[in-house]
Amino acid sequence: MLFASAGFRVKLFDIEPRQVTDALVSLRKEMKMLELSGYLKGQLGAEEQLSLISGCSDLREAVEGALHVQECVPENLELKRKLFAQLDKIADDHVVLSSSSSCLLPSKLFAGLAHVKQCLVAHPVNPPYYVPLVELVPHPETAPATVDRTYALMRRVGQSPVRLLREVDGFALNRLQYAVIAEAWRLVEEGVVSPGDLDLVMSDGLGLRYAFIGPLETMHLNAEGMLSYCDRYSKGMKRVLKTFGPVPEFSGATAEKVHQNYWEHRAPTPGPSSDLPLPEEVSGCLLPMKTTGYSLTRNQNGAAEFTHRELVTASGPRGDPQTIVLMKGPGATTGDLDTRLGRTRVHVYLASALSHAGRII
């Protein structure tokens, strides 16, 4: 979708023809919805973009004449190596061969390939249509021109590429993410804070800050420049960091405790959250996943919990994203949606979203 939005011809490949067919059907529905909501990317209409997208189940046909290949198979090293070995045999000397891997090292992915200078990881962040970051991670032998071309392409399709100057396990995003997850786990495991309150620390605290500026710029602005920050706070930071424990096991009683926290019974939210009027444009609208905001969970036993802010998304018990179909009858309210959503606790992001119901925000 991103590449088509910028006017590029796109060819989807899968060894299963049915997968290709289903993907094209899903793309049509998604792009039509985006166009109706006013949030389709690019200058071309949905039909024009769809005309640029085709599919096949022949790998040679898929890459013939391509300037960029974006591999998206499951995060399995042997599976990815097998696919790149096949690509290596049929690729010309100009196409960029990129992997969407989130943490597999390029030196392992592309080892022994004849076209290794044309290979790199271009790791997007889910969902890439709404989250622009792409990590560019080169193999030690990747040609600088390959990185430059990929950087320019990602910028052209509206993404925000960052260059890693060398490979490192987990890249940048997941190293930061895993560090946060590890300490979050320890704080819950050691009984310092509940799972729900821990998530609030991020969603209503650090997350809101880091959505605008990163940790280093935060340090710089939190004092009279970085040197001043280090002078003031480095002693305290080092003291706290020394208390961090070993890598958690991510299993056992803590895993069960966190799991239960997001399945526990919760009563419907009282007050104005249960009787907000719904605009006409809500009827039949599809709203996509919105990952920023509060924790999003499915509740097996209780009624839906709704806040005074507009519904944006829900998530399954294991964090699987779902698209919600919003329905509306005469005089329907958010309370009616609680029932229709089937015992789903829904948290939302923006108080102003009600006026944008039916739009992707």
Tell me: the pLDDT tens digits for 274-291?
Answer: 444 444 444 343 333 332
Mean pLDDT of 215-226: 93
CB atoms within 10 A of CB 255: 15
Cis amide leading into 17 (omega within 30): no
0.85 cut: is pTM over it? Answer: no
As a whole number of angstroms, the distance between CA 354 and CA 310 comes to 5
Mean pLDDT of the chain: 79
In which residue are the tokens 């605009």 written? 279
Please say whether the beta carbons of 88 and 113 come within 8 A.
yes
Say which residues have a Cβ less than 8 Å from residue 235's Cβ, sequence separation at least 6. none
The number of angstroms, rounded, from the C-alpha of 80 to the middle of its chain's C-alpha atoms is 21
* Architecture of the CATH domain 173-261: Orthogonal Bundle (1.10)
Domain ranges of the chain: 1-57, 73-171, 173-261, 271-356
Please say whether the beta carbons of 217 and 210 come within 8 A.
no
* C-alpha closest to that of 233 among 249, 222, 242: 222
Mean pLDDT of 64-76: 97
Please say whether the beta carbons of 189 and 254 come within 8 A.
yes
3-state secondary structure of 320: coil
Name the band, by pLDDT with cuts 50, 70 and 90, for residue 124: very high
Mean pLDDT of 178-184: 97
Task: Tell me the range of 33-42, 114-123, 314-323 where mean pLDDT is highest.
Answer: 114-123
* C-alpha closest to that of 142 among 126, 120, 165: 120
Q: Which two tokens stand for residue 214?
A: 């990163």
Please say whether the beta carbons of 116 and 85 come within 8 A.
no
The highest-level CATH class for domain 73-171 is alpha beta
The enclosing H or E element of 51 equals none
Of 108-117, 132-141, 272-281, least confident by mean pLDDT is 272-281
Residue 30 vs residues 23, 154, 256, 286: alpha-carbon distances, Å: 10, 21, 36, 9
User: At 298, phi and psi to the nearest 5?
Assistant: -100, 135
Integer-rounded Cα Rg, in Å, for the chain is 23
CB atoms within 10 A of CB 158: 13
The number of angstroms, rounded, from the C-alpha of 24 to the middle of its chain's C-alpha atoms is 21
| β pairing state of 96-99 and 119-124 | parallel
Of 7-11, 253-257, 304-308, least confident by mean pLDDT is 304-308
